[in-house]
Chains A and B, each alone.
Chain A
C-alpha cells in the first residue's frame, strides 16, 4: 500500500535506460518484468473447478483446501526463465495472474473490460474467456465467498456501503496481510510436518471437544507442506532437464545449482544465502497460490534474516558481495512479476491496480532490541534504487539506535524521486504493539507491512477490514443522516444542523454517526471472518504463522498468537479542516450561517466563490502547527480510537484497532463525496493518511511534523504522512543531512511513518493546472522563498527548469 501519488509514471519511463550498478543478467530480467503486460491465466481456476467437482463433500473443508492446493502444485505449469537464478511463478509465466473463483468469480464482462481498458490492462484470449464461461463460471455461481457475504448483509449496511461510508476488503479477496519472522530459515517443511504429525498423534479424543476439528486442520497443514515440497521438486526436475539440453556451460552450471537448491528447500532449512532467498520465495508463492489474500505476504525483516547467511558466505569465501546483490535483485524482480489478481465487477474507468504490497523492511531493530542494519541492508538499498520497480515496496526503519550512515544512505535513494523508501520509526511502532498487548520479544520482531500497518511478524493475523470515510460521516451529519448525493438514508437521524446552537452539538452528532457506522461495519466484518474460517481456510499460511501448529487452529480461525482486525480511517485532514471552517466561520466569527454553507455545499459552491475563497484562505487548516486546527484533528483522532479500539472481533482475545492509511482509497472516497466545508469541490480526492489536505500545509515540513505529533501515534496501528519536496530542497550534501534531522525530529516527537515525494516536472505541471491542491509548494533559495502558485506562468516554467532534476 505504497503511496505514490506524485510519481505514477516514473517507472515505465525509465525502463529503457541502462541501470548503473546492475549486471546484464539483471538488466535483461528487469526488462522482461517491466515490459511484460499483465495477463490472466485460467489454469488455476480450471484445476480447482475440476477438483471441486470431483471432491467437494468427500473431505473436511480444511483437507479439501489443502488437497486442492496439492493438486494444483502437482499439475500447474512450471516456469524457469532464461537468466533466472531464483525461480518460481504463481502463474505459468511472469506477470501471468491466476483467478480465484472460490472467492470471487469473474464474469465474461469483467474479462472484456480487463482485456480492453487502457489503464492496468490484463490480457486474456477469447478462447480462454469461452472456456471460463463453459467450465468455471457455471460451477461457482452462488457458491463464491462474495455471494455468501452479499446474501447476508443487512440493508442498513448496504445503504452505508453504497454511499461510500466505508469499503469492505473481504468481498474481493481473502484476509491476508501478514509477514514472516525468521522461523523458515531454521526449519524446513519437513520439520514443520513432523511437528504437525506429532501433534496429530497426541490428540485427546476423549477429553478435547475440538479434537476432531484440530485433526482435520493438522492433516490439512501436513498436506500443504507436501504441496510446496512437490512444487519445488518439479522446479528441480525442470532445471535438470533444461541443463541437459543447454549448450552454454555457464548456464548449465547455474541450472544444476538451481536444481540442487530446489531439491533442498523448502523441504529443509536453508544452508546458504541462495537457498535462504529461494526458501522464502517458495513460501511466498505457496501462500499466494493457496488463496488470494490482501497484502498477501511479506518477508518482514529480510535483511536481518539474510545477514547470518551473508556473513557465513563471505567468511567461507563461498559468496561475494556482487553475487549477493545479484541474488537479491533476482528476488526483487520475482516480486515485481506478481501483480495482484484483478477485482471483479470493475469498471473500465477504474484505475489504480492493486498489487500485493510486499513491503521489505530494511534496517530497524533486531528482535533483541539492538540495531538491525547490516551490509545486507545497504545492498538492499542499492538494489531498490538500481532497479526502481513497482514491487516490492521497501521501507527503512530508523530507530534512535540506527546509525546516521544508514539514514543518509536511505536519503540518497529518496532524493532520486522514486517515492521510496518510506521511513518508519521502530521506537514508536514497538510501543504501538506493546500497547496492543504483544510481548516485548514479539513486538521487537514486528514491523510494518502492506502500507504502514504494524504487526508481530510471524505471529499475527492483522487483517485490514476496510477503509472508513471520515469526511463522508461529516457529510451525512450535515444532512441528518442522509447522503445528499443519492438522497437516501445512509446513517441515522442526529438532528438538523441548522438548529444546532453550538459547535459541540455538531461534533456530538458526528460522533454518533461515527459510532453507528463503525458498528455496522464491524458486524459484517465479524460475519465475513467466520465465513473464511468455515469455507476458505488457509492451511499452508497456518504452517508458517505461530501458534497455528501448536493449537490446531487455522490462520482465519484464531490460530495466530495475535488476531487483530484493523479499520483504516481516511481523510483526517479533510474532516479536520471542514470542522475548523464550521467552528470558525459559523460558531465563532459568524461570518456565514450554517444554512448558507450547507446550501453552498449542495451547489458545489456555485455562485459562492467568495465564501469558498474566504474559507480556504481564512481558516486554520491542519498541518500548520496551529492549535485551532490541530486540536480538532487530535479530538477526531481520539474519537476514532475510542470508537474502534479494543472492540472484540469474536476471535478469542482478538480485537479491533484503528490505523490511518488510505492507499489510493482517498481518491474513491473523494468521488463519492460532495463538496466539503473546507472548500473542497465535489468529487475531488480527500486527504490521504494523516497527511494534511492537499496544499493546506503552507508553513513547511517542520510545521507539518509538529501538527502531526500533537496526537499520540502509539494509540494507532500506524499513521501515514506524505510530504512533497521540491528537489531544490535536496541539492547539497548538507541538505540531505538536514532532511535526516527533520526525520529524527519527527520520530523523536513520536511520528510513526513519513514518506517523501520529491516532485518532478509532471507534478509541477499538475500544480499549474490545479493550483489549489498545491498551495504547499514553496520555492526556496537563500533569503528568498515564494509559493509556486504565486508565480506567473513563465517563472513557473523557469522554476521547473531550474529545480527539477538538478541535484
Chain B
C-alpha cells in the first residue's frame, strides 16, 4: 500500500478508551465482517458516498464528471460504477455534500496538529488518541510515526486492532502503544472465515504474544445474535482469555446494532444485516456472567 487514507477523525470520543479521546480512523481492512458498522473503512481505496436526502438535484456533479458516469433523475443521481474512476471531481462540485469522498491522504503533521488541538481535554480527563479503522496496523509505517510523535509529546496512545496482521508488525507497534483495544470475534476458525473472510489463527496467536509482552489490553467482542453469542463460543473465548499471560484481563462486549445499515446504501453496496440480529438481554448477561466466572473483568462497552 503506497498511501494511507484517513476516513474520519472523531473528537470528544468517549467510548474508545479512558478519558476524552480523539479517534483517528484508517481506511482499509483485511477482514470483511458481515456486521461491520464502518463499511466505508473496509476498502483501502478512496470511496464515494452518496446521501440522497442531501441531494438538491442541481446537476453540478453531472457537469463535473468527465467520464459521463452520473445520471440525474427526479429523485437523485445514479452513478455508473463501471465508468467511475473515483477522481473525486463530482464530490468537489457537489454544493450540498450529498456526494463525499471517503478517505483522505493526511500527513503526520496534519494528524498531529488535530490531535494537539485536544490536549487540554486529554490532560483534564486522562484521555488521549485512539488509532482505529479499518485496520490501523495495515498502515504501520504511518502509524509508527504517529505513535512515536505522540509518545514524544506525552500523549496517551491506544491502538484498536483486529490483530490479523504480521506478528512483527504488531510487536513493533506494541513497543510504542500504551493500550490496545483488541477485537476478538469468535473462536471457531471455520466460522470466523465464513463471517469475516479470514480464519482466526493469526488473530489468536497474536493476542497470546501481545499478552506476553505485558501490554495493556482491553479485549472487545462484538456480540452478534445468531453468530457468536452461543454458550459454546463464549465459553471457549473466556477460557482462551483466561489462559493469556498477565493478571488483569478485561473484556468489553459490544452488542451488535444495525444502525449502520444506511451507510451500505450510501456506498451502494448490499449489507448482510438480514442474517444478523441484536443479542438478547439474556445472552448478554449470560456472557458477562461467564467471563466473570473465569476471573475476567467484563462489561458492556460502546
Binding site for B on A (CB under 8 A): 609-614, 616-618, 625, 699-703, 706, 729, 734-735, 737-738, 741-742, 744-745, 748-749, 771, 779-786, 789-792, 795, 798-799, 802
Q: Is B118 an interface residue (CB 8 A)?
A: yes
- Residues from chain B with Cβ under 8 Å of A786 in the complex: 259-260, 263
Q: Return 20 A-B CB contacts under 8 Å, by A number.
A: A610-B95, A612-B95, A617-B95, A702-B11, A703-B12, A706-B120, A738-B125, A741-B125, A742-B125, A744-B124, A782-B220, A783-B16, A783-B37, A783-B132, A785-B8, A786-B263, A790-B262, A792-B53, A795-B259, A802-B259
Cross-chain contact of B120 among A610, A613, A745, A790 (Cβ < 8 A): A745
Q: Is B117 an interface residue (CB 8 A)?
A: yes
- Residues from chain A with Cβ under 8 Å of B53 in the complex: 771, 789-790, 792
Q: In the bound complex, what is the Cα–Cα distance between A612 and B60 (angstroms)? A: 14
Contact A738-B20, Cβ < 8 Å, known A614-B95, A786-B263, A792-B53: yes
Are the CB atoms of B95 and A781 closer together than 8 Å?
no
B102 CB to nearest chain A CB (Å): 12
Q: In the bound complex, what is the Cα–Cα distance between A617 and B13 (angstroms)? A: 23
Q: In the bound complex, what is the Cα–Cα distance between A729 and B14 (angstroms)? A: 8
Are the CB atoms of B125 and A609 closer together than 8 Å?
no
Cross-chain contact of B20 among A610, A741, A783 (Cβ < 8 A): A741
Are the CB atoms of A784 and B16 closer together than 8 Å?
no
- Residues from chain B with Cβ under 8 Å of A745 in the complex: 20, 120-121, 123-125
- Residues from chain B with Cβ under 8 Å of A771 in the complex: 53
Q: In the bound complex, what is the Cα–Cα distance between A480 and B38 (angstroms)? A: 51
1/0 per position for B213-257, CB-CB distance to A under 8 A?
000000010000000000000000000000000000000001001
Interface of B is mostly: mixed
- Residues from chain B with Cβ under 8 Å of A781 in the complex: 15, 37, 257, 259, 302
Are the CB atoms of B121 and A742 closer together than 8 Å?
yes
B48 CB to nearest chain A CB (Å): 15
Q: In the bound complex, what is the Cα–Cα distance between A792 and B53 (angstroms)? A: 7
1/0 per position for B1-36, CB-CB distance to A under 8 A?
000000010111111100110010000000000000
- Residues from chain A with Cβ under 8 Å of B262 in the complex: 790-792, 795
- Residues from chain B with Cβ under 8 Å of A782 in the complex: 15-16, 220, 254, 301-302
Q: In the bound complex, what is the Cα–Cα distance between A347 and B223 (angstroms)? A: 58
Are the CB atoms of B14 and A702 closer together than 8 Å?
no
Chain A residue, CB-CB nearest to B261: A795
A31 CB to nearest chain B CB (Å): 37
Q: In the bound complex, what is the Cα–Cα distance between A467 and B106 (angstroms)? A: 44
- Give 5 new A-B contacts, CB below 8 A, not counting A703-B117, A737-B125, A798-B259: A609-B95, A745-B121, A780-B10, A783-B23, A784-B260
Binding site for A on B (CB under 8 A): 8, 10-16, 19-20, 23, 37-38, 51-54, 56, 58, 60, 95-97, 117-118, 120-121, 123-125, 127, 132, 160, 220, 254, 257, 259-263, 265, 301-302
Chain B residue, CB-CB nearest to A738: B14
Q: In the bound complex, what is the Cα–Cα distance between A789 and B103 (angstroms)? A: 20
B123 CB to nearest chain A CB (Å): 8
Cross-chain contact of A742 among B20, B23, B54, B261 (Cβ < 8 A): B20
Q: In the bound complex, what is the Cα–Cα distance between A40 and B262 (angstroms)? A: 54
Chain B residue, CB-CB nearest to A780: B15
Interface centre among B58, B121, B132, B254, by most chain A C-beta atoms within 10 angstroms, is: B121
Q: In the bound complex, what is the Cα–Cα distance between A729 and B15 (angstroms)? A: 9
B97 CB to nearest chain A CB (Å): 5
B293 CB to nearest chain A CB (Å): 23
A39 CB to nearest chain B CB (Å): 47
Cross-chain contact of A617 among B38, B58, B97, B160 (Cβ < 8 A): B97
Contact A613-B37, Cβ < 8 Å, known A781-B302, A802-B259: no
A665 CB to nearest chain B CB (Å): 30
Are the CB atoms of A700 and B97 closer together than 8 Å?
no
- Residues from chain A with Cβ under 8 Å of B263 in the complex: 786
Q: In the bound complex, what is the Cα–Cα distance between A359 and B209 (angstroms)? A: 59
Are the CB atoms of A613 and B12 closer together than 8 Å?
no
Chain B residue, CB-CB nearest to A615: B95
Are the CB atoms of A780 and B14 closer together than 8 Å?
yes
Are the CB atoms of A701 and B12 closer together than 8 Å?
yes
A679 CB to nearest chain B CB (Å): 10
Are the CB atoms of A748 and B14 closer together than 8 Å?
no
Are the CB atoms of A613 and B13 closer together than 8 Å?
no
Cross-chain contact of B117 among A610, A706, A748, A790 (Cβ < 8 A): A706
Are the CB atoms of A748 and B120 closer together than 8 Å?
yes
Are the CB atoms of B16 and A790 closer together than 8 Å?
no
Are the CB atoms of A741 and B121 closer together than 8 Å?
yes
Q: In the bound complex, what is the Cα–Cα distance between A786 and B11 (angstroms)? A: 12
- Residues from chain B with Cβ under 8 Å of A609 in the complex: 56, 58, 95
Cross-chain contact of B259 among A616, A699, A748, A799 (Cβ < 8 A): A799
Are the CB atoms of B120 and A749 closer together than 8 Å?
yes
Chain B residue, CB-CB nearest to A790: B51
- Residues from chain A with Cβ under 8 Å of B10 in the complex: 700, 780, 785
Q: In the bound complex, what is the Cα–Cα distance between A706 and B121 (angstroms)? A: 10
Which 7 pairs between the two chains have the least Cβ-Cβ distance?
A: A782-B302, A741-B125, A613-B95, A700-B12, A613-B96, A782-B15, A614-B95
- Residues from chain B with Cβ under 8 Å of A610 in the complex: 56, 58, 60, 95
Are the CB atoms of A790 and B54 closer together than 8 Å?
yes
Are the CB atoms of A699 and B11 closer together than 8 Å?
yes
- Residues from chain B with Cβ under 8 Å of A701 in the complex: 12
- Residues from chain A with Cβ under 8 Å of B11 in the complex: 699-700, 702-703
Q: In the bound complex, what is the Cα–Cα distance between A318 and B123 (angstroms)? A: 46
- Residues from chain A with Cβ under 8 Å of B118 in the complex: 702
- Residues from chain A with Cβ under 8 Å of B52 in the complex: 792
Cross-chain contact of A779 among B16, B23, B121, B259 (Cβ < 8 A): B259
Are the CB atoms of B261 and A702 closer together than 8 Å?
no
Q: In the bound complex, what is the Cα–Cα distance between A281 and B302 (angstroms)? A: 48
Cross-chain contact of A613 among B8, B56, B260, B301 (Cβ < 8 A): B56
B141 CB to nearest chain A CB (Å): 23
Interface centre among A702, A742, A786, by most chain B C-beta atoms within 10 angstroms, is: A702
B142 CB to nearest chain A CB (Å): 19
- Residues from chain B with Cβ under 8 Å of A699 in the complex: 11
- Residues from chain B with Cβ under 8 Å of A792 in the complex: 52-53, 262, 265
Chain A residue, CB-CB nearest to B8: A785
Q: In the bound complex, what is the Cα–Cα distance between A749 and B160 (angstroms)? A: 30
Are the CB atoms of B38 and A783 closer together than 8 Å?
yes
B172 CB to nearest chain A CB (Å): 23
Chain B residue, CB-CB nearest to A739: B14
Q: In the bound complex, what is the Cα–Cα distance between A570 and B187 (angstroms)? A: 59
Q: In the bound complex, what is the Cα–Cα distance between A617 and B60 (angstroms)? A: 15
Q: In the bound complex, what is the Cα–Cα distance between A742 and B15 (angstroms)? A: 15
- Residues from chain A with Cβ under 8 Å of B37 in the complex: 781, 783-784
Q: In the bound complex, what is the Cα–Cα distance between A771 and B20 (angstroms)? A: 28
Chain B residue, CB-CB nearest to A625: B117
Are the CB atoms of B124 and A741 closer together than 8 Å?
yes
Chain A residue, CB-CB nearest to B58: A610
